[in-house]
Amino acid sequence: MFGVNIRFQIAALLILAMITADYIKTPHLKLISTRSFKILVGLSAANLCFDISTVYTITHMDIVPEWLNKLMHQMFIFSIIAVAFTYFIYVLMLSRNQKRLEKGQLILCTLPLLTSLFFIIFGDIDYYVSDVGVYSYGMIVAPVYICALIYALLALIISLIKNDDLNKAQRISIQLGVCILFAFTLIQLFFPTLLLSGIGLSLMVLSVYFSFENQRENFDTEVSCFSRVAFHRVMSENYETKKPMFLINVTCTNYSEINSIFGHDAGHKALAYVAEKIKKETRQSVFRSQTSTLSFFMSASEAAAADTAAYLDRCLWEDKSSQLKVNVRISVMDLRKYAENPDEAYGLMSFITSEKTFSENVVFLNEEIVGRKKRRDKIEQLLIEATESNGFEMYYQPIYSTRHGTYHSCEALIRMKATSELGYISPEEFIPIAEQKGLIFKIGDCVVEQVADFARRSRTVSEKLEYIEVNLSGLQASSPDLDKRLENIVRQHGIAPSFLNLEITETAVIGSETNLKNNITALRQKGFSFSMDDFGTGYSNLAQITKIHYDLVKIDKSLIWPAFGENASEKAERLLSSVINMLKAIDAKIVAEGVETEEMATYLADKGVEYLQGYYFSKPVPEAAFVEILEKA
């Protein structure tokens, strides 16, 4: 009789064994919900053990002491309620984004559990034994149905309430688990000899396992570490604790270059190598928190966090001889000190990992960096306001023709009108922010519209200049609909496309060469001309000149200034001369930027440079002042 009555318990144990085996195979996050799930599985296993024990004691009452039989049944009944309670707490933690319960809330949640414990301890129990089956009944058993119903209903209510922390599939999974618990409880109530409570609880655990604990969305298989989703979950839980919390980020600063040169698989391999190194040296859970950044948390002192970062830096620096030559920068953030919530932490993290001006290899978040982040946020807000209220104006810098001895063209340079207490904000500062926030396309169109409108309104400009140079950012230059947008703008303002020369920085070509070439071809057919801007500041300019035809090449001032003045060097002069000769050899027309002295102007003109631009002739000025310069020339 004993073997027949435990057949469902054996099946339930097999289900739990399969869940446990699959669970152990992959790393898991250290979350409250994860710990709750482990307790849930453990209690379910304990329940089955008690279930089997009660079947044995009730079928062997002739040899088992009465007190032991009652104790086994008490433990079994309480374990069922404990499983239902833990299931409810597990669902509650998921719906609260791992936010811990306050003491009062926890006491309220445990009231049904504690009340049932009173009846289990002091209630009476009777046993039914026959050839059909065995079961127990009485005051001890009654709390099982009441508590199971209460906790199941609470879990169901949570799944029905709109909550961004639970998606549709997860809600359905919770509802399925509740339905299973209801169904098997009713079956047990009306058919007590079937002893199905254990298999019902096991199926309930299985229903949530595949939606919440199989780790697919928590694991980044490309880099073999935890994913960004997992990072956000752990961040939220960490903020619920009162312990010290340091976030250490390891950013691969040449990740894009590795992808461009060796391919995306190589980029993933490089990050996976760094992730494995971090795990080996720190014994911490590693997260791919951003595309090129790996992060881990430390609940330690500031000194310990600093020592870990320094040690990790030494370990990774020693490995720079590896084939992929991964360059990393480590940032250490005291989240308790500088961020009051996860959203603030994400903002600071994004800033400190993307900022390119840090000279140190290990950077510690401090008040100065936080201040820079606040300035950046203010600039972002000003940009949003400026794009909505025409908050930009154009300045123009003339370009001198050495062949004709007069101004030949000019470069249009954007400025922000209102900058509040921030003072002057350079385009070098606000353009990257505009690119990152997706505002650059509106700003770019605004620039072209203002330049086209200026050319239409000013007869002096249209008669004395051959064209106006307009800068395109990397994102603009590679956008699919660039040619249509620019054509529409010049048509609306009634100017010829040939009156606009589009400047493209050489670095804009990296990663978008195909789109850029297509845009240049389409726009050139419509009459636009092109310049390569900032020649000499990137690493691939020579190759790009051979691939893409430019009407002009603008030599950056960083190649010109070292050859002049008190600190001029012969080596710098030879380099400048060679660059000019090389460009002349391929029939490129040259514009020299940053010309500030007569010496520079004379030297460059003698070398055959066709066009000169710089403060020696004029600084960038507003429309009216620029027209005056042209009229006096």
Ordered domains of the chain (ranges, CATH):
2-213 (1.20.1070), 219-365 (3.30.70.270), 391-414+441-632 (3.20.20.450)
Q: What is the pLDDT of residues 424-447, one digit of tens each?
A: 888 988 998 898 888 999 999 999
Average confidence (pLDDT) over 27-46: 85
Contact assessment for residue 561 and residue 599, using Cβ atoms and an 8 Å cutoff = no
Contact assessment for residue 435 and residue 473, using Cβ atoms and an 8 Å cutoff = yes
Helix 482-493 and helix 513-526, axial crossing angle in degrees, nearest 10: 30
Strands (E), 141-273: 219-220, 225-226, 246-252
Cα separation, 550 vs 542, in Å, equals 12
Contact assessment for residue 612 and residue 557, using Cβ atoms and an 8 Å cutoff = no
Contact assessment for residue 142 and residue 122, using Cβ atoms and an 8 Å cutoff = no
pLDDT for the residue 321: 45
Average confidence (pLDDT) over 393-416: 95
pLDDT higher than 60, residue 78: yes
pLDDT higher than 90, residue 215: no
Contact assessment for residue 614 and residue 594, using Cβ atoms and an 8 Å cutoff = yes
Between 320 and 533, the higher pLDDT residue:
533
Average confidence (pLDDT) over 261-288: 89
333: β partners: 247
Average confidence (pLDDT) over 145-150: 84
Cα separation, 461 vs 469, in Å, equals 13
Cα separation, 320 vs 327, in Å, equals 7
Instruction: Identify the band that residue 597 occupies on the pLDDT scale cut at 50, 70 and 90.
Output: very high
pLDDT for the residue 187: 80
Question: 3-state SS of 309-361?
Answer: HHHHHHHHHHCCCCCCCCCEEEEEEEHHHHCCCHHHHHHHHHHHHHCCCCCCC
Cα–Cα separations (whole angstroms), residue 60 to 4, 69, 404: 14, 9, 114
List the one residue out of 475, 607, 471, 479 whose CA is nearest residue 531. 471
Cα separation, 270 vs 254, in Å, equals 10
pLDDT higher than 80, residue 603: yes
Cα separation, 561 vs 554, in Å, equals 14
List the one residue out of 172, 183, 272 whose CA is nearest residue 222. 272
325 residue type, one letter? K
Enter the pTM of the model: 0.68
pLDDT for the residue 544: 67
According to DSSP, residue 102 is labeled P
Virtual torsion, Cα 176, 177, 180, 186, nearest 10 deg: -120
Residue 494 burial (C-beta neighbours within 10 Å; 0-12, 13-18, 19+): exposed
Please enumerate in sequence order all residues whose Cβ is within 8 A of that of 294, keeping only pairs 6 or more positions apart, or say none: 223, 225, 249, 250, 251, 252, 271, 274, 275, 278, 286, 287, 288
Please enumerate in sequence order all residues whose Cβ is within 8 A of that of 618, keeping only pairs 6 or more positions apart, or say none: 397, 398, 629
Average confidence (pLDDT) over 472-493: 89
Cα–Cα separations (whole angstroms), residue 12 to 41, 141, 210, 479, 482: 12, 21, 17, 58, 63
pLDDT higher than 50, residue 119: yes
Highest mean pLDDT among 128-132, 181-185, 466-470, 529-533: 466-470
pLDDT for the residue 259: 81
Instruction: Identify the band that residue 247 occupies on the pLDDT scale cut at 50, 70 and 90.
Output: very high
Between 522 and 197, the higher pLDDT residue:
522
pLDDT higher than 90, residue 17: no
Instruction: Identify the band that residue 242 occupies on the pLDDT scale cut at 50, 70 and 90.
Output: confident
What is the rounded average pLDDT for all residues in the chain?
87
Contact assessment for residue 270 and residue 258, using Cβ atoms and an 8 Å cutoff = yes
Contact assessment for residue 430 and residue 522, using Cβ atoms and an 8 Å cutoff = no
Between 513 and 616, the higher pLDDT residue:
616
Between 234 and 616, the higher pLDDT residue:
616
Q: What is the three-class DSSP state of 254?
A: coil
Q: What is the pLDDT of residues 84-108, one digit of tens each?
A: 999 999 888 888 777 778 888 888 9
Cα separation, 172 vs 284, in Å, equals 34
Instruction: Identify the band that residue 296 occupies on the pLDDT scale cut at 50, 70 and 90.
Output: very high
